[in-house]
């Protein structure tokens, strides 16, 4: 038992040292305290004030490859339900969708890595689906990137509680490099998010720039799955983004989306040769 505890302690310490959150000297102090009072590594570290609960949680998530956050964790929004509740019905639905998408679209060898999440109107759940889908892909061990391309009503920075000062808009205007704009979500292994960035006066023009494709090419070198959140498809932005992505998934809300609008969107996407890899009836 004692040996097991020390092995565990060493690896938690090693993870935190590797992550730059703990110095080797502090790790030594913690090990000494731990031995002296028969404490667990984390408890000894907290007692000494050298680490906090978040650090320990980070290390445990790494150590056990356990991709879920404890309920009540405030570091991301509760709307990202896939990070908290693997058993909820909507998360089960998203995992089934993930399987379909793995079979029908994503293919690293064929460079099929990008998927735009589209829907006709606001409030139909695009951002919600994009965020949670990205999380379930990352939980499978895919190197996953979520890009917020809704430059009109950006949401992903709120869902993942990251700063929105640099993001897609600054990459498209050449003020930030693609790699600098991708923010690693520490507690969700394998997931990075590119927030929308400052709201520009000319979203449609920005999204049409060649820089968008260049950026996707750069990201496809480091990620296996790239999910793109888009604005309501009644604006032209979503079409532009979907064409660049090559593939799209349509979200429809049972109570909000009209059949006519859904059909128009489908027809428009097909006309621009976007592959429709599925649709999701978001029943909420
Ligand atoms: N399946 C769902 N279950 C619960 N709440 C949802 C679901 N889908 C969307 N919502 C909620 O509905 C609101 C609008 O969703 P959002 O994703 O922001 O829409 P959109 O991006 O299409 O404008 C958000 O508050 C979101 O959390
Ligand atoms: Mg949205």
Cα separations in angstroms, 176 against 19, 26, 126, 149, 274: 24, 36, 26, 15, 28
Residues 23 and 112 in one domain: no
**What residue numbers bound the domain in which 167 lies?**
81-282
Residues 46 and 100 in one domain: no
Residues, the chain, total? 284
Residue 74 lies in a domain: no
Residues 234 and 137 in one domain: yes
Residues 196 and 151 in one domain: yes
Which run of H or E residues covers position 282?
Answer: strand 275-282
Ligand 1: lining residues by beta carbon, under 6 Å: 79, 90, 119, 122-128, 155, 282, 284
128 CA to centre of ligand 1 in angstroms = 5
Residue 118 lies in a domain: yes
The pLDDT of residue 66 is 63
Average pLDDT of the chain is: 91
* Pairing mode, strands 247-253 and 114-118: parallel
Which ligand number lies closest to the CA of residue 284?
1
The pLDDT of residue 5 is 54
Residues 19 and 156 in one domain: no
- For a mutational test of ligand 1's pocket, the pick from 88, 124, 125, 130, i.e. the residue with the most ligand atoms closer than 8 A to its C-beta, is 125
Residues 107 and 208 in one domain: yes
Q: What is the pLDDT of residues 227-267, one digit of tens each?
A: 999 999 988 999 999 999 999 999 999 889 999 999 999 99
Whether the predicted pLDDT of 88 surpasses 50: yes
Which ligand number lies closest to the CA of residue 154?
2
The pLDDT of residue 10 is 53
Which ligand number lies closest to the CA of residue 152?
2
Residues 47 and 109 in one domain: no
Q: What is the pLDDT of residues 195-218, one digit of tens each?
A: 999 999 999 999 999 999 999 999
Q: What is the pLDDT of residues 143-188, one digit of tens each?
A: 999 999 999 999 999 999 999 999 999 999 999 999 999 999 988 9
Whether the predicted pLDDT of 109 surpasses 90: no
Nearest atom in ligand 1 to 79's CA: 27
Name the domain count of the chain.
2
- For a mutational test of ligand 1's pocket, the pick from 77, 79, 128, i.e. the residue with the most ligand atoms closer than 8 A to its C-beta, is 128
280 CA to centre of ligand 1 in angstroms = 13
Backbone angles phi, psi at 115, to 5 degrees: -140, 125
> pTM for the complete prediction?
0.82
Residues 142 and 251 in one domain: yes
The percentage of residues in the chain with a pLDDT greater than 90, rounded to a whole number, is 71
Nearest atom in ligand 1 to 121's CA: 22
Residues 151 and 194 in one domain: yes
Residues 220 and 110 in one domain: yes
Q: Residue 90 in 3-state DSSP?
A: helix
| Residue 108's pLDDT band (cuts 50, 70, 90) | confident
CATH number at residue 230: 3.40.50.300
Whether the predicted pLDDT of 141 surpasses 90: no
Residue 153 lies in a domain: yes
């Amino acid at each position: 038992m004692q040996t097991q505890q020390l092995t565990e302690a060493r690896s938690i310490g090693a993870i935190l040292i590797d992550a730059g959150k703990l110095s080797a000297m502090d790790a030594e102090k913690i090990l000494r305290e731990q031995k002296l009072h028969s404490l667990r590594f984390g408890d000894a570290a907290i007692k000494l004030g050298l680490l906090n609960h978040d650090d320990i949680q980070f290390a445990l998530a790494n150590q056990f490859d356990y991709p879920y956050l404890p309920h009540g964790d405030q570091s991301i929004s509760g709307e990202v339900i896939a990070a908290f509740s693997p058993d909820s019905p909507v998360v089960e639905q998203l995992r089934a969708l993930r399987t379909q998408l793995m079979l029908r679209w994503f293919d690293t060898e064929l460079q099929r890595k990008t998927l735009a999440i589209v829907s006709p109107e606001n409030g139909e759940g695009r951002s919600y689906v994009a965020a949670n889908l990205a999380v379930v892909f990352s939980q499978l061990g895919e190197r996953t990137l979520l890009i917020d391309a809704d430059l009109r009503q950006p949401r992903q920075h709120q869902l993942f509680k990251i700063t929105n000062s640099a993001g897609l808009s600054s990459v498209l205007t050449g003020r930030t490099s693609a790699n600098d704009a991708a923010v690693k979500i520490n507690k969700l292994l394998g997931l990075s998010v590119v927030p929308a960035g400052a709201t520009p006066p000319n979203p449609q023009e920005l999204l049409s720039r060649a820089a968008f494709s260049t950026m996707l090419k750069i990201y496809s070198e480091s990620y296996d799955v790239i999910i793109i959140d888009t604005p309501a498809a009644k604006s032209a932005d979503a079409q532009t983004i979907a064409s660049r992505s090559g593939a799209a998934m349509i979200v429809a809300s049972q109570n909000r989306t009209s059949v006519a609008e859904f059909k128009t969107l489908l027809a428009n996407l097909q006309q621009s040769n976007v592959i429709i890899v599925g649709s999701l009836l978001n029943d909420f």
